Structure 1
């Protein structure tokens, strides 16, 4: 297959054929893959850097993606990767350890295998890190019986006994939300704020039980989660537990870009941090774009894929504008 490119940039030595890529995409989830697909179809030279740390890897299936309902995350990624390679995108299985703008205006990205790659533009789709409550058993059962998103898992656990672990004011809202999928909801107050009368009235109206006290650990049996055990020894039987992770944009190795970040607050609680972009995915750093959960902490897979397309289109237009400006300058006769 012949790979086409309209890049006017000269080549320089690096570990991937000596090329200054039109774009390096960091992150191989839905956002990064769709960005790479879009840029490849735009006849750009693209390198996709993927460390293989997809956030939904522990999940059995993904949902609410039209045409792919219920597909296993690994199967979805394999399909997407095959599509991306059809258009000439190459992939480096590595992690970024450093990134910065070089003296010539391009970007240099250092990888953990010692390679340094160069690009005219960067598109970051590294996703986020789920910082889970410090309760023994939660991390081990995460994305199995320990959940957070009803739109991702609610149908699959409908009508089961579901507990909600309150670690802040969002706990009440989670309990009310999950009551749409089950009539057997228990709110464990744990480290959440003291419930006032209006909150208790709202919970009672949806038949949500309230269990006061701090949760000590999860009770896990041979078939998964059997319940939660409180610090005073009480045990409540639940088959699933809803938690509220702190969502933190994954920025490992990217400090040298000095990206603008901000905090997301939900119901007065800091839910996490994200990279600030404009509606097209441009960050505060010229030439650097971002898409997916790194910019939108509560985004689903289908939304992240759409964001990858949008950011890639903006990046391509940015390159066209630069190439046109250079072509115009080169066409002007000397001295004119």
Structure 2
């Protein structure tokens, strides 16, 4: 069985960026990807200089070509387990295929857990969105709703108010705004609807409104939500690597794999980068984190190879 210097698990921006850098340093690299990036439903990637608006699939296809151009290999499949194997690691795919490597770079991203409202999942990444920086321009000047499930919605609704004069906050399951927040909402002309949302209304595949319990429908063209995110890292359990809870201002954001400044996890030889470590990262910082982790891996390998060379010379 071929033993690679590095196996990269996940072929998104972080993984391909790391693989590219490692290939340029003459490392043997295998990227394993299951073809289900988080941003697959989106029409385009934004805030990526010179690539703004490029479809995610096109961006990753270009990245794979560049990795292959530097000698890297690509394999399709889902990694179900990773374990220590002598001086390296063995990863196993769902179909039983196994690969070995000296180091692992985990860039599997995360999964969005959406509020339990019928219709959201079908429109996710279209006119049901979450990030004003990623998708806000595309819904500018539309009738935008913000579905509140926590106090984080107060921040989110103000961001979308920058993009449209017609913004409505649906309190849904969020706590009652404070007196100061009520004043801020009123000052910015943000309408507030109390009561739980029952479902979203669609016509011809597009969002037309938000239906409240009781039957009242508030017309909307776009709906922003705050998903809870889960790091895609269950396959690391055999290595003893677990995810940790990520919070912001006391609100649960999701889970992530902890790493140091160079992307190293608590398990020697295992590095991670991208959304699996930082749920808030967009495509550009995810790619940058992949590059940084590649540098950490390469230096880790050089240190190992230097120790081995010294030992051989001394013998």
Q: Which band: TM-score by shorter chain?
A: over 0.9
Please identify the structure whose Cα radius of gyration is greater: 1
How far has the Cα of 1:196 moved from its partner? 2.3
Residue among 12, 22, 45 paired with 2:28:
45
Contact 1:121/1:287 (8 A) holds in 2: yes
CA contact (8 A) 1:166 1:243 kept: yes
Q: Can you list the C-alpha shifts for 1:301-325, whole angstroms capped at 9, x where unaligned? A: 0111111000001100000000000
1:98 alignment partner in structure 2: 81
SS at match of 1:326: helix
Cα deviation for residue 267 of structure 1 reads 2.9
User: What residue in structure 2 maps to residue 297 of structure 1?
Assistant: 279
Aligned equivalents of 1:221 and 1:266: distance in 2?
36
Alignment of 1:65 with 2:48, yes or no, is yes
The secondary structure found in structure 2 opposite 1:64 is coil
The corresponding residue for 2:131 is 149
**Structure 2 counterparts to residues 67-216 of structure 1, below 5 A:** 67-102=50-85, 104-216=86-198
Are residue 332 (structure 1) and residue 314 (structure 2) matched?
yes
Q: Which residue of 2 aligns with 1:308?
A: 290
Query: Is the Cα–Cα contact under 8 Å of residues 96 and 252 in structure 1 kept in the other structure?
Result: no
Aligned to 2:255: 273
RMSD: 0.9
Looking at structure 1, the residues matched to 67 and 219 of structure 2 have their Cα atoms a distance apart, in angstroms, of 46
Q: Counterparts of 2:215 and 2:5 in 1: how far apart (Å)?
A: 60
What whole-Å deviation, never above 9, does each CA across 1:33-58 have from its counterpart, x for those lacking one? 01110111110111110011101011
The answer as to whether partners of 1:162 and 1:186 remain within 8 angstroms in 2 is yes
Greater share of helix: 2
Shift of 1:217: 0.2
Shift of 1:141: 0.3
C-alpha distance in 2 between matches for 1:145 and 1:189 = 19
How many Å separate the matches in 1 of 2:141 and 2:187? 18
Match of residue 14 from structure 1 = none
3-state SS of paired residue (1:139) = helix
The alpha-carbon deviation at position 223 of structure 1 amounts to: 4.7
Question: 1:105 offset after TM fit, Å?
Answer: 2.4
Q: Residues 126-149 of structure 1, C-alpha deviation per residue, up to 9 Å, x if partnerless?
A: 000000001000001000000010
In the comparison of the two structures, how many residue pairs are matched? 315
Cα distance, 1:254 vs. partner?
Answer: 1.9
Contact 1:164 1:187 in 2 (8 A): yes
